[in-house]
Amino acid sequence: MAASTDPSSGRKPQTGQDFADIDADRAEGASIDPADVARFSAQAAEWWDARGPFAPLHRFNPARLSFIRDHVADRFLRDPAKREAFAGLSLIDIGCGGGLIAEPMRRMGFAVTAIDASSENIGTARAHAAEQGLDIAYRAATVEQVEAEGAGPFDVVLVLEIIEHVADPESFLRACSRLVAPGGILIVATLNRTLKSLALGKVAAEYILRWVPAGTHDWRQFVKPDEIRMMLSAEPVAVSGPYGLVYSPLSDRWSESADADVNYMMVATKA
């Protein structure tokens, strides 16, 4: 689908043709953690298996999508009930994995760019999007590479469940914020570093419930909401949140909550 121009921004959102279609064997960037990249690369073929290693993300996705849809709709005065409600807006999904968020974002009308440091993840994501007939600009790259190439800015920047896996969270998050267009929005999702998250987000999730493979997370790398505020304090953005997300074993569903002790989201907007 050809990109349209959003009257509110006067800019043309980026599509796959805005990027060179050549990926390096390994994306390079100061903030990435090679060990985590290798771990997720080894599971790349299983991203779309709803009963596989990424089953928790499949269950988590509806809550994440609702949160993103509603906050972006409020920011850009869009009606989320309309078909392709966000047409004309550009979005980048940083640390996109196999495309579990990028694909529904494209269906909502965004012109989507999605990057990941793992070329294996990008290969899986590209193949699945092609099967679905979705034009998404996938690329094996880091946020530092995207910024250095002058890509963007983007109306929406998504940083979902990735900051706890990078080697330099502040450098990474500040680079992400610099990709936000004037008037745009940055949405971060991560895990809080609390005793509750150690018990539930690490020990229970990995060793008792076996939701994710053991070793997926390092609790010491979980990030507190105030730390995200501090990381972004030097950037021209206004930060709100945290907005908690909690799981109900009775309904087997995630929902927004005032409890941000484990999973939470933050929103940063640029004037």
Is 64 among the annotated ligand-binding positions? yes
For 155-165, write each residue's pLDDT tens digit.
999 999 999 98
For 18-43, write each residue's pLDDT tens digit.
433 334 334 555 566 666 555 545 55
Our CA angle for 200, 201, 203, nearest 5°, is 65
Please, what is the end-to-end C-alpha distance for the chain in angstroms? Answer: 30
Kindly write down the DSSP assignment for every residue of 35-62, as one continuous string. HHHHHHHTTGGGTT-TTSTTHHHHHHHH
From CA 20, how far away is CA 18, in angstroms rounded? 7
Looking at residue 19, what is its pLDDT? 38
From CA 136, how far away is CA 230, in angstroms rounded? 33
Looking at residue 207, what is its pLDDT? 57
For 89-135, write each residue's pLDDT tens digit.
999 999 999 999 999 999 999 999 999 999 999 999 999 999 999 99
| Assigned token pair, 221 | 């790398």
Looking at residue 202, what is its pLDDT? 67
For 205-248, write each residue's pLDDT tens digit.
655 666 666 666 687 889 999 999 999 999 999 999 999 999 88
Is 116 among the annotated ligand-binding positions? yes
Asked whether the predicted pLDDT for residue 54 surpasses 60, the reply is yes
Cis peptide bond N-terminal to 53, omega within 30: no
Binned at pLDDT 50, 70 and 90, residue 136 comes out as very high
From CA 197, how far away is CA 135, in angstroms rounded? 37
Is 232 among the annotated ligand-binding positions? no
Q: What is the arithmetic mean of pLDDT over 243-270?
A: 93
Binned at pLDDT 50, 70 and 90, residue 11 comes out as very low
Kindly write down the DSSP assignment for every residue of 176-193, as one continuous string. HHTTEEEEEEEEEEEE--
Domains of the chain by range and CATH? 17-270 (3.40.50.150)
